[in-house]
Amino acid sequence: MTLTTLWGILTKVIDIAVVWLMFYFVLKNIKNNVKLVLIVKGIVFLIAIKVISNLLNLYTVGVVLEYILEWGPLAIIVIFQPEIRNVLESIGRTQLLGRHKILTVDERERVVYEIMDAVEYLKKNRFGALIVIERDMSLQEYIDPATKIYADLTSPLLGSIFFPNSPLHDGGVIIQGDRLTCAGAVFKTSMNPNVSKRLGTRHRAALGIAEESDALALVVSEETGRLSIAFDNEIHYNLSLDEFRMMLVEELKPKAEIFYNADEEEEGESHE
C-alpha cells in the first residue's frame, strides 16, 4: 500500500468524521430547542405527505407540496431566524471540557454540600433562589452583564445573596466548577406553552436556560419553599431534599465517570 493510498484513506476518514461531528452538534442543539423540534417534525411530516402523494398520484397535492418544499427553507430562515441563531450560538458556546469535569471527587462533594446546606436554609426561610451550574456549554453571555463575584462557593455566601433585602436577590447566580462567578444574572424565560401557569418567573427562567444550554438550574420557591431542578428541556418540580440531592449529585458526575460506573455494574452482574 503506497503513501498516496494511505493519505487518500485518511482524508476520507477525516471527511466523514467532520460531517458526522457537524450532524451531531446540530441534532444535539436542535433537541434542546422546543421550537426547532417542532420545525423538524413539520418538515418530516411534509416530506411524508409528499412521498404518499407521489405513490398515489395525487397531482394537486404534489404540486402544492413542491412549492412548499421549494420555498419552505427560505421562509423558515426568515420566520425562525432567532431560533436558528440561538442554535449556532449554542454550538459556538460549547466547550471541549466542561468546568465541572475537572473537579476532583472531593471538590464535587464539597460543592454539593455547600449548595445543599444553602438550599436547606433558603427552603426553611422561604427565600427565593435561582442557582445555575455551568456544564459543557459556556454561559459567558449571561456572566458578562451580571455582577462579578469570582469567590469560593460557600453556603453563607449563597444565603447572603438571596436574602430578601440583598440587591442581587432577584437575579440568579452562576457557578463554574467550585467557584461562584457572578450574581444578579438575568436569563430568558421559557416560552413553552405546556409549562404550568402556576410556575413563576424563577421557574420559567430556570427552564429557559435549560432549553438553551446543558446547564443545571436549581430553584427555591419564594412562596412555597419547594425545590426544583431544570435540565435537558425539563423541570423537575416539588422535589424532596433527598430527591434534590440525589439528582444534583447524579447530574454533576462527568459523563466518563457515569460510563465507568455502568461498566463496573455490568461486570459485577456477570460475575454473579
pLDDT in tens, 29-60: 666 556 667 777 777 888 888 888 888 888 88
Q: Do 212 and 153 sit in the same domain of this protein?
A: yes
Q: Would you state the pLDDT for residue 93?
A: 52
With cut-offs at 50, 70 and 90, classify the pLDDT of residue 65: confident
Tally of domains in the chain: 2
| Residue 107 CA, distance from chain mean position | 23
pLDDT-wise least confident of 75-89, 111-125, 163-177, 223-237: 75-89
Show which of 50, 78, 93 is a domain's final residue.
93
> Which one has a higher pLDDT value, 138 or 35?
138
Residue 268: inside a domain: no
Domain encompassing residue 47? 3-93
Q: Do 55 and 129 sit in the same domain of this protein?
A: no
> Which one has a higher pLDDT value, 81 or 47?
47
Strand duo 227-231 + 234-239: pairing:
antiparallel
Q: Do 107 and 224 sit in the same domain of this protein?
A: yes
Q: Would you state the pLDDT for residue 217?
A: 96
With cut-offs at 50, 70 and 90, classify the pLDDT of residue 241: very high
With cut-offs at 50, 70 and 90, classify the pLDDT of residue 170: confident
Q: Supply the CATH number for residue 179's domain.
A: 3.40.1700.10
Residue 262: inside a domain: no
Contacts of 242 (CB under 8 A, 6+ apart): none
15 has pLDDT over 90? no
DSSP state of 194: T
Q: Do 20 and 60 sit in the same domain of this protein?
A: yes
C-alpha cell at 88: 449556532
- What does the pLDDT average to over 131-147? 89
Q: How many angstroms separate the CA atoms of 119 and 93, rounded?
A: 29
Q: Would you state the pLDDT for residue 40?
A: 74
Show which of 93, 113, 132 is a domain's final residue.
93
Q: Would you state the pLDDT for residue 80?
A: 65
Residue 89: inside a domain: yes
Residue 270: inside a domain: no
Residue 264: inside a domain: no
203 has pLDDT over 90? yes
Residue 263: inside a domain: no
Average pLDDT of the chain to the nearest whole number? 81
Q: Would you state the pLDDT for residue 153?
A: 94
Q: Do 64 and 107 sit in the same domain of this protein?
A: no
Q: Would you state the pLDDT for residue 35?
A: 62
Q: Do 9 and 103 sit in the same domain of this protein?
A: no
Q: Do 80 and 144 sit in the same domain of this protein?
A: no
Q: Do 187 and 224 sit in the same domain of this protein?
A: yes
Contact (CB, 8 A) for 230 and 209: yes
Q: How many angstroms separate the CA atoms of 234 and 34, rounded?
A: 11
Q: Do 69 and 104 sit in the same domain of this protein?
A: no
Q: Would you state the pLDDT for residue 271?
A: 46
pLDDT-wise least confident of 87-91, 112-116, 137-141, 231-235: 87-91
Residue 271: inside a domain: no
Q: Do 40 and 59 sit in the same domain of this protein?
A: yes
Q: Do 115 and 229 sit in the same domain of this protein?
A: yes
- The b-or-e profile of 160-182 (16+ CB within 10 A means b, else e) is ebbeeeeebbebbbbbbbbebbb
Q: What share of the chain in percent tops pLDDT 90?
A: 38
With cut-offs at 50, 70 and 90, classify the pLDDT of residue 70: confident
| β-bridge mates for residue 236, sequence order | 229
Q: Would you state the pLDDT for residue 165?
A: 85
φ, ψ (nearest 5 deg) of residue 240: -75, 170
> Which one has a higher pLDDT value, 35 or 197?
197
Q: Would you state the pLDDT for residue 250?
A: 92
Residue 266: inside a domain: no
Q: Do 124 and 251 sit in the same domain of this protein?
A: yes
SS3 of 79, please? helix
Show which of 51, 66, 93 is a domain's final residue.
93
With cut-offs at 50, 70 and 90, classify the pLDDT of residue 168: confident
- What does the pLDDT average to over 16-25? 80
